[in-house]
Structures are given as C-alpha cells and as structure tokens.
Amino acid sequence: MYVLRRIVLAGLVVLLATANGWTLAYPRNNGIKWEEVQREALELFIQYLKLDTTNPPGNEIRAARFFAEICQREGIEHKVFEPFPGRGTLWARLKGDGSQRPLILLNHTDVVPHSKEYWSVEAFSGAQKDGFIYGRGAQDMKSVGMAQFVTMLTLKRARIPLKRDIIFLATADEEAGGQLGAGWFVKTHPELLGNAEFLFNEGGNNITDQYGHVLAVGVGPAEKTPAWLRLTATGEPGHASVPRPDSAVNRLLRALNRLLEYTPPIKLTPAVEQAFRSLAPLMPAARSGKFQNLREALKDPEFARQFDLDPMARALVRNTISITMLQGSTKINVIPPVAVAEVDTRLVPGEKLERWIAELRGVLGDDSIKIEPVLAFEANDSPIDSDLVKTVAKVTKQRYPEAIITHPVLAGFTDSHFFRDLGVMSYGFSPFVAPPRELGGGFHGNDERIGQKAYVEGVRFFYEIVEQLAR
Ligand SMILES: [Zn+2]
C-alpha cells in the first residue's frame, strides 16, 4: 500500500511537470517536500544576494528581472515596470477564488551602500561562512523578500486552492523614501492591488532568550512616520563688517535655539500604548505592571524620569526633533539673504502633520520663518485584532508554544504607510526566529549576514502563515 501510494504520487509529480513545464511540482494540496523547498530557497537567496541593487543608484531592474524570469518559468502571472531608468518594480499574482480580498507580500529590492574596507567578504558574492549567508540585503530585506517569493512559488506548485489572491510586490527605492517604487506603484497601479485586505512587509521583532527559547513574535501594526521639514529665514543681505541683528542667519539660529530647548510632550496614542502593553509579560514584575498601563505609570514622576532615560522608549512616546542640516552664506564676509535648516522630525502613529507644524510654529516664535515639508506622511496604524494577526498567533502557537505575540511600533519607517493610506491593513513581520548569535546582523552595517538555519526555517514558518491565511 505504502509503496503503491509512493508510485502513484511520483507519477503525479512527473505528469504535472510535463504538462506545465514546471521544474518541480507537487501533488495537489500536499506532498510539499520541505527539504527540497528549503534547499532551493537557499540557492535562490544566494543568487538574489549577488545582484548589486545599492541605492543610490538602485538598479532594482536587476531584481525585477530576476523574479520575472522565475515567474515566467513557473507560469506565474507577473509584470515588470521600469518607470524610471534602472528603477524596476515587479508585480506577480496567484489568483484566489475571490471569496476573500487579496494579501500583498511587499518587499523592497534596493539595499543601502556599504563600506568595502570594513567587510570580511565581498558584499555581493553571496558568501557562505560558519553557518551564515553574507551579503548586503541579507537582513534588510532580501531574506524576507525571498521567503515571500518562495512562499508564492510553493503555493503555486502545490496547487493550494486559495480564497484570496496572493500579490507579490518587489519594489525599488525604499531606502530613499520609496517614491520611485512603492509610492509610484500605489499612485499609478492601484488596480493591481485588487482592493487588498492585508499586507506583510518588513519590520516586526522577534525575541528569544540566550538559550534560544522563543519568547515573542512581533507583528508590527504601526510605525513612526517622517515629517522632514525645511525652515527658511530671510533678511536684508549686506557686508558682514556691519552686523545686522535681524539677519536671516541670526533669526534662524534664535528660532533653532528655541527648538533645541523644546521637548515635545509625551503623546501616548493607542498604537504606542498597546505596543508597551504587549511587551509587559516579558518584563520583570516591577516593570510589567507599569507597561500594562503606561498612561497611568507615567504619572509617577520617578518612573517617568527613568523611562525617559532610554532613548528608544523616549522616541516612541513622543514626536521627535533632530536638527540635521544648516545652510547660511557661502562666503564668510557676506550676510546672506536666506538661511535654511532642515529638521528631521518624526510623528507618533495617530499624529496629524498640520497640528504638529502648528505646534512647531509656536515653538519657533518667529512667524517670518517659512516651514515646508520635504517628506511627510500621515502616521496611520493597523488594527491588532485582524485575521492576519490572529493567523500569525495561531501558527506561532503551533511552532513556538511558549511565545507571546507583541505589537511593536517601529521608530523608523518603511513603505507600509503607502498601503495603510489606501486602507490595506499592513504589518511588519519577520519570519526569522533565532537567538541573536544565530540570527546574524549587520543591518545597514558591516558584514550583513543571516544564519542559514534561521533563514530556511523562517521560509517554512512564513509559508505556513500565508497558507493558513489564504487557503
Ligand atoms: Zn528595509
């Protein structure tokens, strides 16, 4: 019986392969050979890491074509876009039966520059060393992108019946704000998103103890968003030998001084409160109660003082201000007509840009200084009781029974806001779960790498989640 079944299955595999020209195929609904899938996931990942998609200049078309070629071979519907030279974005779709709205698997294909002299391997060689896979993008985010892609591939080959479309979207330019990638795509091709319900993107944060026990799996429903502002002061120009107290530079400096002195008040929006609440079970008893109800806890001046000493905690509970760029005269003896400062401010989820600018105008105390947004997005968040979050929790429970689900708020930002603006519930999630020494590191830094075991296990974890959510 056993042997017979094996032969029948093998026959089916061959039939599927010949009929569709697939390189690999599985009998309907089962028979996924995980060892093979994971081996292929590793090979594809290494090939992907070899593509230099450093932004600037980007050249993400290399990644778009790489994915397109595989889609072509596998019979997966797809389109390549190159709206700006070299800046490619790939869209691919597996059709569901339409009874539920689509799920988007979003990933960016660009990577940040690297400093060759600090790397022990070539950054685009896909080197394997001591159980790690090295390469710029190994963490951010070619590993996640490939886990998403292999998930789509496996669903297709296993012919899993889907209730919802699975849309794989590999975009350019995220590391520079995403306007030439995801931002361009949502503006020009919203129809290809099919009124999607959910989206997985980078972000999230998983926590293990030093022995490798998984304590928490993070599903990030929110992130802080940038409100990058340009402040422009103007004044009478002249020769510097005759000082002008109200020159553009002097007025700008006085206003910036007031800005430096200013600490934005704590703004506990619901997304931020629940982020801390979800972490409470992992805290020592004394802190746990405080995190359960941060709003109450922060009324205690001693707790508030200590809380504020942690730069990350501090940044998560308020809008932040970093003065980063200054420009006055180009000549030492010339009082310029214009002085400019660019200020990186960040908004907590739920904040409104206009309200924040009005607050800053009051702080600057000089109405003649012009405030213009350079890059700014509304700070939206997604619910934590959605089917997507419940599905992650369910699959996590099977895999890591001890782990809790947390809902971290990212201090940085990703492309998710473009989709949240359209009403797509979007979440930061990493399927790679391992203690730091096995997970790798080098996010935007040197010797970026990911543990091979963490990677291949993550591919399967991610597949299980998506299958549950879409089947
Ligand atoms: Zn990233």
pLDDT tens-digit series, residues 451-467: 999 999 999 999 999 99
What backbone phi and psi angles, to 5 degrees, belong to 149? -65, -45
If you measure from the C-alpha of residue 58 to the centroid of ligand 1, how many angstroms do you get, rounded to a whole number? 14
What is the predicted pLDDT for the residue at 63?
98
If you measure from the C-alpha of residue 444 to the centroid of ligand 1, how many angstroms do you get, rounded to a whole number? 9
If you measure from the C-alpha of residue 198 to the centroid of ligand 1, how many angstroms do you get, rounded to a whole number? 19
If you measure from the C-alpha of residue 189 to the centroid of ligand 1, how many angstroms do you get, rounded to a whole number? 22
Under-50 pLDDT residues of the chain = 1-29
What is the predicted pLDDT for the residue at 211?
86
If you measure from the C-alpha of residue 365 to the centroid of ligand 1, how many angstroms do you get, rounded to a whole number? 37
* Separation of alpha carbons 345 and 224, rounded Å: 10
Per DSSP, the three-state class of 81 is strand
If you measure from the C-alpha of residue 137 to the centroid of ligand 1, how many angstroms do you get, rounded to a whole number? 8
* Separation of alpha carbons 377 and 412, rounded Å: 13
pLDDT tens-digit map of 293-304: 999 999 999 999
In the predicted model, what is the mean pLDDT of the chain?
Answer: 92
What is the predicted pLDDT for the residue at 22?
38
If you measure from the C-alpha of residue 111 to the centroid of ligand 1, how many angstroms do you get, rounded to a whole number? 8
If you measure from the C-alpha of residue 174 to the centroid of ligand 1, how many angstroms do you get, rounded to a whole number? 7
If you measure from the C-alpha of residue 108 to the centroid of ligand 1, how many angstroms do you get, rounded to a whole number? 7
Token pair of 211, please? 């022995």
Token pair of 389, please? 């979050």
β-sheet with 449-451: strand ranges across:
128-129, 132-134, 449-451, 440-441
171, HSE (Cβ side, Cα atoms, 13 Å): 28
What is the predicted pLDDT for the residue at 98?
96
If you measure from the C-alpha of residue 197 to the centroid of ligand 1, how many angstroms do you get, rounded to a whole number? 22
Record the pTM.
0.89
* Separation of alpha carbons 129 and 127, rounded Å: 6
* Separation of alpha carbons 75 and 156, rounded Å: 9
Token pair of 336, please? 């310029």
